[in-house]
Structure 1
């Protein structure tokens, strides 16, 4: 069974990616630490999917969210990123070939979202920002969430 509403991994990833400066300090340093979730944030903009994946993976490794030497951790992160990109791109995970570009903030949250610890750890990747033609001012907001078990 999932933990209480406030302990939800995906919900916390979305709240973290949407939080602005002072909101982030209040939200992340107390709430996520109390839940023993590991987390980080970053930004990326590109017309190329591989650059987005690489930026998120690099941030996750540098912040100790995943161990780059353990395949299952990187595999789980990769699938969470791709699932989140499905939301951002409305199901067609393609950017440059379709003359689309994104400017995204991202958050990564890792923890145990179930009452039974034997269910193991999970990862959530939340993306929020803009997508549109590669012309400033013609983009619109977008959001995506991906969750995968480790």
Structure 2
């Protein structure tokens, strides 16, 4: 029996770990498509756009296929809800984010008919736009493609 692939766990770990801490997960990464990046802003749309742009540039989703873009968008929003504690706003509430993100695409089920899924994880800081007054935050969103 094959072990189930946990794309959410992998995305979360990749967003949190430094390069020198990732080696135990290299073999798993052969089974998925991964995109990583960083974004900092007081503008929610800039955070969403940074992830979408990085994902499209790496070819993790097919840009002209609506269901893939739609799945990514909902996974991003779900992950941002975790970072913002359910209040999808940053600049409007006088707070800023500095985030690392990882996006993982794969088939988390043994039954291939279940299809591919996408996981978006954010890890970083959120807080008042004053250096040093931020605190850690994390969010995870998963959606089927």
Deviation at 1:68, TM superposition (A): 1.1
Distance 1:67 1:28 in 2: 25
Deviations 1:82-141 (A, max 9, x none): 000000000000011100100000000000000100000000000000000000000000
Q: Which residue of 2 aligns with 1:71?
A: 66
Choose 72-81 or 12-21, whichever is displaced more: 12-21
Q: TM-score, normalised by structure 2?
A: 0.95
| Residue in structure 2 matched with residue 12 of structure 1 by the alignment | 10
Q: Provide structure 2 residue ranges, at least 5 long, that are not aligned to the other structure.
A: none
1:29 aligns with 2:49: no
State the distance in 2 between where 1:27 and 1:14 align.
Answer: 14
Number of residues of Structure 1 aligned to a counterpart in Structure 2: 144
Is residue 16–residue 27 contact of structure 1 (8 Å, CA) maintained in 2?
A: no
- Normalising by structure 1, what TM-score? 0.92
Identify unmatched segments of 5+ residues in structure 1. Answer: none
Moved over 4 A (4+): none
Of 86, 94, 97, which residue of structure 1 is paired with 2:92? 97
Distance in structure 2 (CA, Å) of the matches to 1:91 and 1:11:
21
Provide the residue aligned with 2:78 in structure 1: 83
